[in-house]
């Protein structure tokens, strides 16, 4: 019986290790897919109109945020991804750009988060900046 228990324990450990490795690969792939999707979106919808560029940027941020939250992305990778999107659209000073924060709000609104989770993202991502929180809420409410 001890041999059977040991075999079962080993099989269980192997299954857990395989599942963990599979999840890590899946997350890595999904993060790359998010980046690739945003990049192709940026390239395919670029325009010479500044207003159109801002709208496209907001939509890129929205898609990126939604995919990031749904995939359970690493918090430390979120803002570098936003920065990359801004660079691709020629957006300078993305941290003070209204479309950054509205896009984040719209992306959060397209997920299944509740108001408590929204508050956590707002606090973590804005460091309590009330203007940025208002813009996130505005974007979030636009999707409801």
Burial track 105-124 (b if 16+ CB lie within 10 A, e otherwise): bbbbbbbebeeeebeebbee
pLDDT at 86: 98
Q: Is the entire prediction scored with pTM above 0.75?
A: no
Asked whether the beta carbons of 89 and 103 are under 8 A apart, the reply is: no
* pLDDT per residue rounded down to tens, the chain (144 residues): 554 444 444 343 343 444 333 434 344 444 444 544 444 444 444 444 667 899 999 999 999 999 999 999 998 999 999 999 999 999 999 999 999 999 999 999 999 999 999 999 999 999 999 999 999 999 999 998
């Amino acid at each position: 019986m001890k041999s059977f228990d040991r075999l079962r324990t080993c099989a269980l450990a192997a299954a857990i290790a395989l599942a963990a490795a599979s999840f890590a690969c899946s997350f890595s792939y999904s993060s790359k897919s998010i980046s690739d999707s945003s990049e192709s979106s940026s390239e395919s919808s670029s325009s010479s109109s500044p207003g159109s560029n801002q709208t496209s940027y907001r939509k890129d941020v929205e898609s990126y945020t939604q995919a990031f939250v749904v995939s359970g992305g690493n918090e430390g990778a979120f803002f570098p991804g936003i920065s990359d999107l801004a660079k691709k659209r020629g957006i300078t000073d993305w941290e003070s750009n209204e479309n950054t924060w509205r896009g984040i709000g719209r992306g959060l609104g397209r997920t299944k988060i509740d108001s408590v989770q929204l508050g956590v993202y707002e606090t973590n991502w804005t460091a309590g900046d009330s203007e940025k929180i208002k813009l996130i809420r505005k974007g979030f409410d636009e999707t409801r």
